[in-house]
Every structure is written in C-alpha cells, then in structure tokens.
Amino acid sequence: MNTKNTTNTSLFDFFGKPAWGKAVPLGIQHVLAMIVGNVTPSIMVAATTGLTVDERTLLVQTGMFIAGLATFMQIFSFKRIGAKLPVIMGVSFSYIPVLLAIGKEYGIAAIFGAQLIGSLAAVLMGFFIKPIRRYFPPIVAGTVVLTIGLSLYPIGINYMAGGVGQPTYASLTNWAVALVVMATVLICNNFGKGIFKLASILVGIAAGYALSLALGIVNFAPLETAKWVALPQPLHFGIQFVPTAIVSMIVMYVVNSIQAVGDFSSTTVGGMNREVTDDELSGGIVSYGMSSFVAAIIGGLPTATYSQNVGIVASTKVVARRVFIIAASIVIAAGFIPKFGALMTTIPYAVLGGATISVFGMITMTGIKLITQDELSTRNMSIVGLSVALGMGMTQVPASLAMFPAWFLMVFGKSPVVIATLMSLILNIVIPKKSLVQEQKEREDLDSK
C-alpha cells in the first residue's frame, strides 16, 4: 500500500488522514495527557526565581507555544532536523533540579543562558548519536533517571505542604487538598477506564481545584491583569552566561538526549511495530536541541519527549500525523492566550504537589525499569549504588562541600543528577564488564582452591 496516498484514512498509519471527527478527540486526548506536565515546571521555576504575576503567566504561556512548535518540528522533518515520528514534545520535568539550582543562585537570565549553550550539546549529540550511544547503556541511563526521580521528591512534598515561603505552608488545609488530589489520581490510574485513566492527573487537578474553590484558597488575581491575546516576548527575561551553570546544563542535555532514545524507540516499537532507525534518532535529538535553543531566545524552558504520550501511542497504536498536528495546534493556540496561562497559575501549590508526586514516583520507577534491563551483577549494582549515593548524599549534606571553590559547588553541589551522571558514566567505562555467570564462576574457582 502506498502510505502517501491521499485516500489513506487509517489512524494506524503515520501518513493516514483520518476523518476529523475521529482525529480531533484523539488529538485532544494527547493535549490532556501533557498539559499539566507542560505547565508545572514553569510555575515551579517562576516561584523559585521570584517572578511577578505577569511574568509567571508569560513563562507558562511561552512554554505552551514552544511545546507545540517543538512537536511540529518532530512530526515534519526538514533535512536532518526532526524524527518524523508521532511524538509529543513539552517542557521537561527532568531539568527541574538543575533549573531550580541555577535560578536560585543566579536568577532566570542565567537559566536561559545555560539553556542556550546546553541545547547545542544536544544538537551535537544528535549528529553523533550512533558512535557514542554505547557509552550510555541502560545501567547508566537508568541510574540518571532514578536520581532525577529521587531528587524531585522534596519538591513534591514542599508543594503538597503549600509551597515554601507561603503563609499557609504546612497547614492541614493544604495537606487535605494534596491528599485528595493524590487519591484521585491513584484511583483513576488503577480503577478508571478510557479518558479517566489516560488523563488521571488532569482529573486529580480538577478535583483538587474544585475543593480549593470551595475552601476559598484560590487566588484569581493573575486572571484580572492577563490579556486575552498576546505574542511571546523574546529575550524578555534576559540571557546571562554563567560558566558553572552552563556546564550543569550541558550534562543535563547529554543525559536527556540519551533518555530521548528510549522514548523514540518506545514510539516505533509500541506504535509502529518496528525498531527506530539511526536517521530518526539523529533527527529527533537534533530537533529536540534546536527547539530548546529557540525556547531560550523566546523565553521558554527546555523541552523533551513526553513519555506519557508515548504510552498512549503504544497502547492505542494511533500514529496518524493528523492527530498530532491537531494536538500541536491546540497547544500553540494556548500559547497565544495569556488568560489561559494566568488560569494555570491560579492552581494552588497543594494541588500541584498532590498531582506531581505520582509523576515523580513514575520517573523513579522508569529509572529502575531501565536499570533492570541489565543484569544486577555486583558490577552493575556498584555503579548504581555508588552513583546514587554520592549524588544524593553530597547534595543533601551541603556542609560537606563547604571548603570547595564556588564553581565546584555550583556544578556538583546543587544537583545530584550531575554527580550521578558523571559517576555512572565513568564507572561503566572503568569497571570491567562481568556477567552474573562470570561472577559465579569466579566464586566457584575461589572455593575450589
């Protein structure tokens, strides 16, 4: 069958053009699955960097615009830019530990400066992904993803308590709202069907928002000043180049480039019944770097492939590009409506915390799943255990690094992800590879002597 035939109306062919009545609901489903994850990192960074109400709205608004643009860049490839695969892109949670560390120390301009340079590292990774991919096996990628998940837990708990620095922090009201949201997400995930299962986080936030309205803890001030229509404002937040921040972001872009390999592979294997090609991987990672480069200029945070949307593709097998065009168009449209961004910023921290704590847990479990793709030999357990221990331990006890220079503290003392990445990468190269069978044979030889 000629997949490029305009009469092809299949939902299960990338070049299919299904009826709009079928494609629109499926496109909206993808938007529902990604929208909360796309908005929340912007709100978290805005809170850490002390942005004004209008600036918080702008950051959220720009994040929506860049998510739609990044998705278009992936589904329509140009030369070596774009995977030409059915994926949804959005602002990534994976960068949060580093973004918050940079923002707290140097401000939001330093975030965008580091993002601008770091994104170029992803572009280079895309061009050379084939020869360097072997240095990032599942044991390394899994260790990094596991550390990302663990490092996000304090953020989730602080949000459940109402947000650090807020007058009502740790109040029983905040905890009650957060626990209701968490329970709703859990019930939808395990007992829900259809859209209630796929959009469980959105359902949880809706329930928490309704409860917050009843309790009178929603602040509508951002909506009052927000315009109905506005364009993104390039360089509004400025750009500052801080070497230590740049190094941290380069490491994160390298890590997330490897993580993207897993998402692209899951998309083709789960939704298209084939392995991903080297050209698709290269184009996808180059595009991911380019979209983040553009985001830094127009004021949006780093993008990445969205695993929850990959899961939808794998479960439904719907890969028609028209569905993803609809989803990307909706997200871009939201990026031109400040009222929408302002509405998102009225969501109480307790609601966001109750919803995202499960997301952080899933990130952790994804890391564990990657790790267990390899044998849990003594070698591999040493790599994971030591990398996570140093990454989490050193950053949780900042006083232990008090005598080190400032540049070292910024690169290695703020985010456990950087330490875990470098340690797992080095240990995987240095420690000789031994299987469980080889280790058992060594013990048997030792016992026989």
Query: Is 253 within a domain?
Result: yes
- Ranges 25-39, 143-157, 188-202, 251-265, most confident: 143-157
In total, how many domains does the chain have? 1
Query: Is 441 within a domain?
Result: no
Residue 150 CB burial class (10 angstroms; 0-12, 13-18, ≥19): buried
Query: Is 2 within a domain?
Result: no
Query: Is 24 within a domain?
Result: yes
CA 11/CA 322 separation, integer angstroms: 9
User: DSSP character for 433?
Assistant: P
Query: Is 1 within a domain?
Result: no
Query: Is 444 within a domain?
Result: no
- Which tens digits make up the pLDDT trace of 169-211? 999 999 999 999 999 989 988 898 876 776 677 788 889 999 9
Mean per-residue pLDDT of the chain:
86
CA 188/CA 195 separation, integer angstroms: 9
CA 202/CA 217 separation, integer angstroms: 19
Higher pLDDT, 426 or 395: 426
User: DSSP character for 373?
Assistant: T
Residue 8 confidence (pLDDT) above 80: yes
Yes or no: say if 132 and 323 are a contact pair by the CB < 8 Å rule: no
Query: Is 372 within a domain?
Result: yes
Residue 204 φ then ψ, to 5°:
-60, -45
Yes or no: say if 377 and 439 are a contact pair by the CB < 8 Å rule: yes
What is the model's pLDDT at position 435?
84
- Which tens digits make up the pLDDT trace of 338-366? 888 788 778 888 998 898 788 778 778 87
Return the structure tokens found at 123. 């572009």
- Which tens digits make up the pLDDT trace of 74-132? 999 888 899 999 999 999 877 888 898 899 889 999 999 999 999 999 999 999 888 88
For residue 83, the enclosing domain spans: 20-430
% of the chain residues with pLDDT over 70: 96
What is the model's pLDDT at position 198?
61
